[in-house]
Amino acid sequence: MGVIEDLTERQKKKIDELRQRLKNDLPKDMYEDTIMFYKFLKARNFNLNQAESMLRK
């Protein structure tokens, strides 16, 4: 089992929300990288605003 298979529904929703917030600002390869979004969210305790800010830097 990998990280993606082990995500909770809450975590999946947060990843989807973060992906939507950044869809026009990221290259396609980054936009499709679920693990990358997970790592940024995990680093900010799944706080969407903080993870988004971190990704935009």
| Angle at alpha carbon of residue 40, lines to 4 and 23, rounded to 5° | 85
Q: How far apart, in Å, are the Cα atoms of 30 and each of 26, 34, 42, 53?
A: 6, 8, 17, 16
pLDDT recorded at residue 1: 54
pLDDT reported for residue 3: 77
Q: What is the pLDDT of residues 2-55, one digit of tens each?
A: 778 899 999 999 999 999 999 999 999 999 999 999 999 999 999 999 999 999
More confident position, 1 or 30: 30
Task: Please indicate, yes or no, whether the overall pTM of this predicted structure exceeds 0.85.
Answer: yes
In the chain, count of helices (H) and strands (E)? 4, 0
